[in-house]
Amino acid sequence: MSIHLGLDRVRTPVGDMLVVTGEDGRLCALHWQRHEARLHRQLATRHRHARIRIAERRAPDEVRDPLKSYVDGKLDAIDAIPVDTGGTDFQQTVWRALRAIPAGTTLSYGALAVRIGCPRAVRAVGHANGANPISVVIPCHRLIGSDGTLTGYGGGLERKRWLLAHEGIAFADWNNSKIAV
């Protein structure tokens, strides 16, 4: 069986986004240019029983236009982008909860675990967050440490800082990465 995917590139002030869509037009992966190898590894893992064929092609307007609008400052534009995440039931629960975090706000991993009804699953939430195949649209950058510090982001902490600042999150101290409350 073959899976045919399209790869588009959307320019941003912090590097090109790699936008992968399926034959049905839904967004199935979004990573940053610098992390293209990780993108390919995740796609290979997700579709391990199929042959993946990726062709450079423009993403459908339903995906591309909202991404560009988000970069231009219309932060809620990405909320309606149709996605196809794959993943386990738990991962999908975490990813749906991430999409419910409004732009301009953050949440700790622990608070997200409570929100999905699994207060003791903080590490599992962190793992699911790290496995997120669709950064920005499934806004894993909006999760922070319980003490208000920025914690890992697959696209790099500088990009996470930019995304949060772009969404209006003020930082008390850029050097220590503490988010103002």
User: Annotated active-site positions, please?
Assistant: 140
Cβ count near 67 (within 10 Å):
22
Whether residue 154 contacts residue 160, with contact meaning beta carbons closer than 8 Å, is answered with: no
Q: What is the gyration radius of the CA atoms in the chain, in angstroms? A: 16
Whether residue 67 contacts residue 21, with contact meaning beta carbons closer than 8 Å, is answered with: no
Q: What one-letter code names the amino acid at 130? A: G
- Residue 19's contacts (CB-CB under 8 Å, 6 or more residues apart) are 7, 8, 9, 10, 27, 29, 30, 59, 63, 64, 67
